[in-house]
Amino acid sequence: MARKILFEKLDIPGIQEYEVYRKNGGYASVEKALKTMTPDEVVEQVKTSGMRGRGGAGFPMGMKWSFIDKKSGKPRHLVVNADESEPGTFKDRFLMHHIPHLLIEGAIVSSYALEANLSYIYIRGEYMWIFKILEKAIKEAYANGWLGKNILGTGYDLDLYVHCGAGAYICGEETALIESLEGKRGNPRIKPPFPAVSGLWNEPTVVNNVESISTVSWIINNGGEEYAKIGIGRSTGTKLMSASGHIKNPGVYEIELGMSVDEFFNSDEYCGGMLDDRPLKAVIPGGCSVPILPPQYIFKTANGEDRLLSYESLSDGGFVTGSSLGSGGFIVYNDTACIVRNTWNFSRFFHHESCGQCSPCREGTGWMDKILHRIETGFGREEDIDLLWSIQSKIEGNTICPLGDAASWPVAAAIRHFREEFEYHVRFPEKIKDRNHFVNEP
Ligand code: L3W
Ligand code: SF4
């Protein structure tokens, strides 16, 4: 049985409610931190834990916190990124829905560590029902003295607000999120300066994902060293995985980092293997932004080692034979899936969500959408495949924010590993025009 941290109390009936949460040890980390630790000691524990940001980039959380300049005299802020919009990723909504006080508790301790007195949770507009759950939880936290003035008589003040986005994927990018929170259009800013230096209202700001902040209470209750013992190498702790697609048991799972992809995929406790026992065609291990893996690189790296669910192992071989843990959106495809259609679907998404500030992304995502559409519908030309390759290669690394990269990587990986499917589409257009899109031609 794998170690549970975030889901430790998930099975307790009524854990969504404040009284039940509190009776089962909830808010103990706030008492411990505020009464017995200095803010810098809290930061140290998070650093010791080796915890890495769970939004996709895996940046060391304690290091990010230590970039906050507490001597500038400027107010500091924690902003929790709850704008979960990555296709294939639905773990934050699960966490906030089922155990909302875990996030509030973590946000209080994290704000204390940053010496922030005004913090926010920015939630995606489509999660309106969770917005209401969080508002209720925050109200209960205020009513019970965990938020507001002079918390637990320690002299520490904190106001926490939940703010609803308006349905744009790009607002999950931290600087676009900040712009949106300031009431402006959610256009990403050029970095540096990073938010830790100049964030919300140009004040030092830490933006962390829901899962990251929800882990902080466990780290404070049990110590950073204990957390660092879980996991593998520099991938410490546990990770929430959103599993979807052609598997027997889709859902949200907490795994210990370092578990083999084979165990996660085949074990009945997790994915349970292929739905209807059909052949496996591909896996995207970290949400639609990361490269798709063909069968030969899903369970083994190019060196023949077991592929593990960790930051290092999943990216082993770079994006040629590897991928990325990303946000943990594990999407499985069987032999009936059309890779061209899937790639077009992703490109259409990125085209729609591009904010339009930089030309390579604004124009490139549009061109890729258009070309993939014509290939998919049987109007593709032989030269389109190389044209697609050329376009994606000119987007990557040439944009303000990672959306450009995220739009190019899935296209590059699909062509690299499944080129013959693209070629089939352009060579046999009459079959493509007539077919059922979800059944492969022989
Ligand atoms: C101060 C420095 N701070 C880096 C901070 C930076 C940020 C964090 C990571 O993109 C990825 C993206 C998506 N001084 C710093 C510093 N920081 N250097 O560290 O930064 P970065 O630039 O590596 O990544 P990012 O801009 O945060 C995130 C990928 O995640 N992704 C998307 C997932 C989407 C969701 C969702 O919908 N919930 O998770 C999936 O793979 O493509 O590459 O805080 O400020 N010198
Ligand atoms: Fe906007 Fe795309 Fe540029 Fe990001 S890469 S700033 S989404 S145009």
How confident is the model over 122-170, as pLDDT tens digits? 999 999 999 999 999 999 999 999 999 999 999 999 999 999 999 999 9
Contact 165, 83 (CB under 8 A): yes
Chain mean pLDDT for the chain = 96
Q: What's the start-to-end Cα distance of the chain, in Å?
A: 42
Q: How far apart are CA 17 and CA 141, in angstroms?
A: 11
Check pocket membership of 194 for ligand 1, CB cut-off 6 A.
yes
**ipTM rounded to 2 decimals:** 0.96
The average pLDDT across 235-260 equals 98
Instruction: Write down the pLDDT at residue 180.
Output: 98
Q: How far apart are CA 360 and CA 391, in angstroms?
A: 9
Which atom of ligand 2 is closest in space to residue 355's alpha carbon?
1
Instruction: Write down the pLDDT at residue 39.
Output: 98
**Distance from the CA of 348 to the center of ligand 2, in angstroms?**
15
Instruction: Write down the pLDDT at residue 441.
Output: 47
Q: What is the pLDDT of residues 199-242, one digit of tens each?
A: 999 999 999 999 999 999 999 999 999 999 999 999 999 999 99
**Distance from the CA of 289 to the center of ligand 1, in angstroms?**
12
Instruction: Write down the pLDDT at residue 435.
Output: 64
Check pocket membership of 285 for ligand 1, CB cut-off 6 A.
no
Which ligand has the nearest atom to the CA of 399? 2
Check pocket membership of 85 for ligand 1, CB cut-off 6 A.
yes
pTM passes above 0.90: yes
Check pocket membership of 86 for ligand 1, CB cut-off 6 A.
yes
Pocket test for ligand 2, best of 392, 400, 408, 409 (most atoms within 8 A of CB): 400
Q: What is the pLDDT of residues 42-74, one digit of tens each?
A: 999 999 999 999 999 999 999 999 999 888 899
**Distance from the CA of 56 to the center of ligand 1, in angstroms?**
6
Using pLDDT thresholds of 50, 70 and 90, give the confidence band for residue 434: low
Burial 255-277 (b: 16+ CB within 10 A, else e): bbbbbbbebbbbbeebbbbbeee
Which ligand has the nearest atom to the CA of 187? 2
Q: What is the pLDDT of residues 319-362, one digit of tens each?
A: 999 999 999 999 999 999 999 999 999 999 999 999 999 999 99
**Distance from the CA of 143 to the center of ligand 1, in angstroms?**
35
Residue 314 tokens, joined:
């999943």
**Distance from the CA of 176 to the center of ligand 2, in angstroms?**
10
Contact 351, 395 (CB under 8 A): no
Q: Is the predicted pLDDT of residue 432 greater than 90, yes or no?
A: no
Instruction: Write down the pLDDT at residue 111.
Output: 98
Which ligand has the nearest atom to the CA of 329? 1
| Binding-site residues, ligand 2, Cβ < 6 A | 170, 188, 354-358, 361-362, 399-401, 403-404
Q: Whose CA is nearest to atom 23 of ligand 1?
A: 57
Check pocket membership of 410 for ligand 1, CB cut-off 6 A.
no
Residue 393 tokens, joined:
């290669």
